[in-house]
Structure 1
Amino acid sequence: MGKDFELENSYAYLIYKTVRALRKQFMRMAMEKGLELFPEQWFVLVKVIKQPGCSQSDLGRDFDDRPSMARALRNMEQKLWIKIVPDPEDRRKHQVFPAKKGIQIYNTLVPEIEKERSRMFKSLSTQDFTNFKRIIDEIYDQSIE
């Protein structure tokens, strides 16, 4: 059983290996800028900057991790990257806004990330990325069914 299975040809393994490499690369880049920042925190920060006032529950749903999101947001608020305020229309909810320090982090890292993307993706075409997005979306959709 499974005698033809080779880990090196497993798509799940290739995705896992790539995610780990990208995570390490991001953390190295952040550390070079004097930031202790994990990719997950970066994703949340970008979402909050692009959608100021989004709700804490929406972030938990978007990242499919509601229990961890509350803890992550508290941590980011303690670091002064974001502000969490009660929703004026529904006191049971909280809105999340970028703080000055969070915006500075964003403005520091975006040019570095863009430069690194250009380096890494220089041999890939727009069609490669169109195909990749379609394929990765299909894998994701099938994995959550």
Structure 2
Amino acid sequence: MKESDPNKKEPIGKLISYIHRTQLKRMSRSLGEYGIGGGGQYSFLKAILMSPGTTQDQLTVGLKFDKATTARSVKQLEAAGYIERRADPEDRRSHQLYPTHKAIEFQPVLQTLLDESNAKLTRDLTDEEEDQLIALLQKLNLED
């Protein structure tokens, strides 16, 4: 990335996109040895760990991914042994997603990696600046 003029404001979308890509690369490198790939698979795994029995549709809506990305990530996490599908007793056409024993044992490692990644991202911010950044980002209207 070219060094930018400190007086020139970068577009917010560009900065957020750059931060997002950097975080994805960082997490992909960290999680590769555990058989968890890119594309935000860790987001899906964390959501399933936090809310066992969720469905793919609920993940798609909750995490704001498209259906294809959700389906691909769920399939890969299942193949890696981190999640299992069970028929939804309320709707046999739907499947609920549950973490496996492997995922439950991995949860502390995942959380540590996420915490370390966030610490690297915010290492040059004071606690007050970090709180302000979070508040401002949450204030952005991201709905269509």
Q: TM-score range by the shorter chain?
A: 0.7 to 0.9
Q: Distance in 1 between matches of 2:87 and 2:69?
A: 19
Note the C-alpha offset of 1:38. Answer: 2.0
Deviations 1:15-69 (A, max 9, x none): 12212221222122223x4544225110000010011111221111112322331
What count of residue pairs does the alignment treat as equivalent?
Answer: 137
**Other-structure match for 1:3:** none
**Other-structure match for 1:15:** 16
Matches within 5 A, 1:24-103: 24-31=25-32, 33-38=33-38, 40-64=40-64, 65-103=66-104
The 1:85–1:113 alpha-carbon spacing in structure 2 relative to 1, beyond 3 Å, is same
The unaligned stretches of length 5 or more in structure 2 are: 1-6
The unaligned stretches of length 5 or more in structure 1 are: 1-5
Q: Is the 8 A contact 2:48 2:98 kept in 1?
A: yes
Q: Which has the higher helix share?
A: 1
SS at match of 2:92: strand
Identity %: 21
Q: Is the 8 A contact 1:55 1:94 kept in 2?
A: yes
Q: Distance in 1 between matches of 2:36 and 2:99?
A: 17
- Residue type of the alignment partner of 1:15: I
SS at match of 2:52: coil
- Residue type of the alignment partner of 2:20: V
